[in-house]
Amino acid sequence: MWKNYFKVSIRNLFKRKLYTGINILGLTIAIVSFLTISLYIFHELSYDQMYADAERIYKFNQEFVAGGDGEIVATTPSSLVPVIMEEIPEVEISTLVFDLSIFSSVMVDAGEGNQEESKFAFADGNFFKVFDFEMLSGNPNLVLAEPNQLVLTESTAKRYFGNPLEASGKSLKIDGKEYVVTGVMVDFPSNSHLDFDFIASFKSHRHGINPEWSPSNYYTYAKLIPNTDLDEFSDKLDGIVEKYMGESMRSYGFSTRFLFQPVSSIHLGEGKVLQGIKPAADIKYLYIFGIVAVLLIFIGIINYVNLATAEATERNKEVGLRKVMGAGRLQLFGQFISESLILTLSGIVLSLLLLYLMADYFENLSGVPLQLDLLFSPGGIAVIMGLFLIIGFLSGTYPALILSGMEPMKALGNQTKIGGGAWIRKGLVVFQFFISIGLLVATLIVKQQLEYMQSVNLGYEREEVVALSYHYNMRETIGGLKNELLRTGSAQSVSLAADMPIFIKAGYKIFPGGDNQKEMNITGYSVDPDLIRTLGINIIAGEDFSGNELSRAEAYQQQVEHSVILNEAAVKELGWTVEEAVGKKLDFGEEPTFVKAVVGDFYFNSLHHQVGPLAIMVDPDQANVILAKLPKGNPATYLANMEGIWKTLVPERPFNYKFIDQEYAKMYRSEQKIGTIFSVFSAIAIFIACMGLFGLVSYVALRRTREISIRKVLGASSVDVLKVLSSDFFSLLGVSAVLAAAFGIWFSREWLEGFAYKTQISPWIYILAILSVSAISLLTIGYRTLKVYIQNPVETLKDE
């Protein structure tokens, strides 16, 4: 029986090529969108779950609290690892990682010249006992056990040695120090928060484990024994803080504690943790994308229902004839459900093919690879089968009930009225366009915030300022390099800094006037005396480190005097006015420090965060970048001159540069990707909705063909006919617009809540979204109206 259903269904589908093509296209687009979003969400949720005993692996963070405010950093003192191994029996094994790329790149020489690399880390000998990545060569228990040992990822070994399996035993010179390759591991997967190309043994690290418990930049992990009582474990960590840091806390008036989190929660649970290895994702975006995926499926189903319902008026004679020939309602129901299942199956097959073809495009768009092999796993096959049955039956049930319920005589006489479903069809169209306009509104809101972030005044000059890599080995030549860049006019001003002004991270505590009861957390920015001039930062009170009347030697001498420049936020939190702050004493380290100037607040982090207290201090030894302000004109010319000077004075290091404004734009890549993804899926929703609208207009046109013919005979123009067919629709669009506006208000609040600095949403966003969808819809209606209008009225009215 079902075989016959499918044979007849295929024959009928080929007869109605237009409706069949539109239905398959709508379902294919909806399904491929659903599967794409599902794979993206699965990738984000699967972070750091590939390790054996992943549920027992924890990462340690450190929370600092002072003055009632606290912050959590992803790093800990290096001394934490040996202490928890020795004093907490629940720790089965722990490991320590130092990510050098936070501070600087390294120069790698394989015998064919230096190459700059950034993904370099140190790890102790337990690293591969905690994280059991596959080793292509080398014993994981021994590859990081001794000094000057190095593990490469597969792709890195291939770059340097050709065959990764032949890399072990060979040597690389890194920053002038020779390392022996003792192992090659598979590349870190994209869903791991760890991401390095080189891992050197921790015993090679020049600082080693610091016995002090001051804040450090080390990442600590531990695998706990099975069935550990986490509350008891937390109490023991608090005991370690008291034992080793209690006296310091009480002396300096701050508190701290170590927090721990499952390694699998780092990617989606570390949004408020600073200094992570990889930027954390926001789980609320996954919820939004999940909702969008389900809504797109429903839009595809609604599109099918509207088209099938509209088509029902053309199939009434077929139904009547089948009933006269003895077909029962159940048989007809099975027939029409078969057609729905065939269309759904076609959509799924085409969507899988389309997924394969667009996988690279989506990876470029989102930065996330589509793991297509998951679709053919048992879970993936179950999802696809579920989609097949859900879409097939949800799409086909309502039209099948309508068609199979027609009375044969009325059907043969073309007297059937598909009543009772008008409100359902209109409600479905309202829902479709609510989603379409809503997604477009969300897209425009995201884009307006992105435009605001790109155009906002950061408080310093970011255009035509380049950052060059600086290494501590360049200390002897940096003076000559700066002088030559200035002498030749290749740069207007040059300065050393710990990092670009958008990536300032170092944290300190200060005590105004030496009063330990008035401590304050502050971000520190280590620079040389020329930084303020190079970036054009506005000085409100006091004078620059290199004040106009001072010579260069005097300017550098101020480093010994420990003067700092504070921003307005720091002065305000200290309770001073801008004028009285200049000359004030601060305890800032071991020596007394004096406030030399106050600058206007500038953004030294993402606009997600408020501008906090900042201290700018002269300490060139902490520099990692050279900042150079280019003269007005052609940047390429000045950069070429810079490169020539660089190769003459620093031949051992490659000339690499980054524009600050471009790096600032990259800070919001995730938001830009979200905006692009919203754009794509809002366009998809509008496209599918317009196909559903085409179905509804077709239905209306078929039901009112005689009326339209009479109007045409009486002199009605095509515009008059358009008004007749579109009047009901625009009332539906009005309802959709109201609902979408309410959604937009809610979405703007949710989206902008994550930004400390946000744009004012213009009402034109809602107007533009509604007008855009209205215009596209009007074109759809116009096309169908023209098709009805050009029909010869004689053909329609000849039986009247």
Question: Model confidence over 297-322: pLDDT tens digits?
Answer: 888 888 887 777 766 666 665 665 56
Question: Is residue 729 within 8 Å of 693, Cβ to Cβ?
Answer: yes
| Concatenated DSSP letters of 605-651 | S-TTS----EEEEE-GGG--EEEEEPPSS-HHHHHHHHHHHHHHH-T
Predicted confidence at residue 143, as pLDDT, reads 94
Predicted confidence at residue 682, as pLDDT, reads 83
Average pLDDT over residues 98-111: 79
pLDDT of 558 higher than 60: no
Average pLDDT over residues 489-494: 90
Report CA dihedral (13, 16, 21, 23) to the nearest 10 degrees. Answer: -70
pLDDT of 16 higher than 80: no
Measure Cα distances from 738 to 103, 298, 349, 542, 760 in Å.
51, 20, 37, 55, 20
pLDDT of 14 higher than 50: yes
Alpha-carbon torsion (114, 120, 124, 126), positive or negative: negative
What is the tens place of the pLDDT at every residue in 131-141? 999 999 999 99
Percent of all residues in the chain with a pLDDT value above 90, rounded to a whole number: 18
What is the tens place of the pLDDT at every residue in 762-777? 888 888 888 888 888 8
Q: Residue 189 — very low, low, confident or very high, per pLDDT cuts 50/70/90?
A: very high
421 DSSP 8-state letter: -
3-state secondary structure at position 16: coil
Length reported for the chain: 800
Q: How far apart are CA 286 and CA 288, in angstroms?
A: 5
Predicted confidence at residue 201, as pLDDT, reads 94
Backbone angles phi, psi at 593, to 5 degrees: -125, 145
Q: Residue 553 — very low, low, confident or very high, per pLDDT cuts 50/70/90?
A: very low
Q: Please, what is the average pLDDT of the chain?
A: 81
Question: Is residue 623 within 8 Å of 578, Cβ to Cβ?
Answer: no
Average pLDDT over residues 198-225: 83
Q: How far apart are CA 800 and CA 782, in angstroms?
A: 27
Among the residue ranges 63-72, 424-433, 517-526, 726-735, the one predicted with the least confidence is 63-72
Average pLDDT over residues 497-502: 85
3-state secondary structure at position 77: coil
Strand runs (DSSP E) across 84-124, as ranges? 91-99, 106-109, 114-117, 120-123
pLDDT of 756 higher than 70: yes
Q: How far apart are CA 124 and CA 505, in angstroms?
A: 25
Measure Cα distances from 602 to 504, 547, 653 in Å.
11, 21, 32
Percent of all residues in the chain with a pLDDT value above 70, rounded to a whole number: 82
The CA-based angle 280-672-773, given to 5 degrees, is 130
Among the residue ranges 401-405, 649-653, 763-767, the one predicted with the least confidence is 401-405
pTM of the model: 0.79
What is the tens place of the pLDDT at every residue in 574-633? 888 888 888 888 776 566 788 889 999 888 877 877 888 888 888 887 788 899 999 988
Domain ranges of the chain: 2-43+284-453+678-704+722-743+753-759, 54-274, 465-666
pLDDT of 7 higher than 90: no
Beta bridge partners of 586: 512, 593
Predicted confidence at residue 338, as pLDDT, reads 80
pLDDT of 52 higher than 80: yes
Predicted confidence at residue 778, as pLDDT, reads 82
Q: Is 444 exposed, middle or buried (0-12, 13-18, 19+ CB in 10 A)?
A: buried
pLDDT of 521 higher than 90: no
Backbone angles phi, psi at 188, to 5 degrees: -60, 130
Q: How far apart are CA 422 and CA 424, in angstroms?
A: 5
Among the residue ranges 43-57, 84-98, 149-163, 464-478, the one predicted with the least confidence is 464-478
Among the residue ranges 6-10, 639-643, 713-717, the one predicted with the least confidence is 6-10
pLDDT of 157 higher than 90: yes
Q: Residue 182 — very low, low, confident or very high, per pLDDT cuts 50/70/90?
A: very high
pLDDT of 50 higher than 50: yes
Predicted confidence at residue 669, as pLDDT, reads 76
Q: How far apart are CA 615 and CA 498, in angstroms?
A: 13
What is the tens place of the pLDDT at every residue in 660-684? 888 888 777 777 877 888 888 888 8
What is the tens place of the pLDDT at every residue in 249-274? 666 556 788 889 999 988 887 556 76
Predicted confidence at residue 555, as pLDDT, reads 46
Predicted confidence at residue 624, as pLDDT, reads 80
Average pLDDT over residues 434-445: 88
Alpha-carbon torsion (418, 419, 421, 425), positive or negative: positive
Among the residue ranges 73-77, 428-432, 567-571, 587-591, the one predicted with the least confidence is 587-591
Predicted confidence at residue 551, as pLDDT, reads 42
Q: How far apart are CA 398 and CA 376, in angstroms?
A: 31
Predicted confidence at residue 592, as pLDDT, reads 72
Nearest to 533 by CA among 521, 552, 546, 550: 546
Select the more confidently predicted residue: 11 or 436: 436
Average pLDDT over residues 547-551: 44
Q: How far apart are CA 197 and CA 782, in angstroms?
A: 58
pLDDT of 458 higher than 80: yes
Select the more confidently predicted residue: 140 or 473: 140
Measure Cα distances from 465 to 37, 490, 626, 664, 736 in Å.
39, 12, 10, 12, 48
Nearest to 491 by CA among 500, 501, 481, 499: 481
Predicted confidence at residue 462, as pLDDT, reads 84
pLDDT of 70 higher than 70: no
Backbone angles phi, psi at 258, to 5 degrees: -100, 130
3-state secondary structure at position 563: strand
Could you identify the residue written with the tokens 């479905």?
428
Predicted confidence at residue 184, as pLDDT, reads 96
Predicted confidence at residue 2, as pLDDT, reads 57
Measure Cα distances from 710 to 394, 466, 665, 713, 794 in Å.
38, 73, 61, 5, 10
Q: Is 62 exposed, middle or buried (0-12, 13-18, 19+ CB in 10 A)?
A: buried
Among the residue ranges 430-434, 507-511, 565-569, the one predicted with the least confidence is 507-511
Backbone angles phi, psi at 417, to 5 degrees: -120, 125
Predicted confidence at residue 651, as pLDDT, reads 83
Average pLDDT over residues 434-438: 87
Q: How far apart are CA 276 and CA 74, in angstroms?
A: 5
Q: Residue 478 — very low, low, confident or very high, per pLDDT cuts 50/70/90?
A: confident
pLDDT of 185 higher than 60: yes
pLDDT of 197 higher than 90: yes
